[in-house]
Chains A and B, each alone.
Chain A
Amino acid sequence: GAVVSQHPSWVICKSGTSVKIECRSLDFQATTMFWYRQFPKQSLMLMATSNEGSKATYEQGVEKDKFLINHASLTLSTLTVTSAHPEDSSFYICSANGLAGAGNEQFFGPGTRLTVL
């Protein structure tokens, strides 16, 4: 149980284009989803917290107009990197908290590697 999927697993795009990454909880309903970014050999950095049906809460220094988050249902959250630039190349990972019964654990997706040329 508690499986989180991400799509795509990797994407290469040209500078200036937008990229959408999906995060799905497959076997549970996620009240809250989190989006992280991880640069090589570094830890995970929280970008934003997303609650179903409401606006995401962004961490300090994360541009909300650049990283658009939509959490339209209890099983799906999307992150859109708008007008991507090479410095946005990174490993993007989502995680999800379940409804009552899943405790306080966050279950992570497999990540999406974004390369912006």
Chain B
Amino acid sequence: GQQLNQSPQSMFIQEGEDVSMNCTSSSIFNTWLWYKQDPGEGPVLLIALYKAGELTSNGRLTAQFGITRKDSFLNISASIPSDVGIYFCAGLDQGAQKLVFGQGTRLTINP
């Protein structure tokens, strides 16, 4: 079945540092999504990418849709304490209209 490989699995950084995480897939996706999940909450959509090569920003967050449509990355600049959480990438299986999720990247920030 389809799988997304997300890395790193966890990150421990200092406040103010930049963060980068990525997802790769064995299959092509036409839509990539990045979500953040806080403990005990549902995922919240951060950025949606619809076109190969697209680079999209949302405040301090920047995400890119890989040109091969098999990968995406998310960057967070100048991290702050509220960035702590688990970040998930997801690819949309257009035919089945289902999301395929990565394993998540747990971000911890030392003040």
Which A residues form the contact surface with B (CB < 8 A)?
Answer: 4, 6, 32, 34, 42-44, 46, 49, 91, 93, 95, 97, 103-111, 113
Contact = CB atoms under 8 A, between A and B. Distances in A.
Interface in B12-53: 31, 33, 35, 40-45, 48, 50
Contacts of A108: 35, 42-45
Contacts of B108: none
Contacts of A46: 98-99
* A34, A43, A107 pick with most chain B CB within 10 angstroms: A43
B101 A44 contact: yes
Interface residue range, chain B: 20 to 34
Given A43-B104, A103-B48, A110 B98 contact: no
Given A97-B97, A105-B33, A43 B102 contact: yes
B48 A105 contact: yes
Nearest to A57: B96
A27 to B, nearest CB: 15
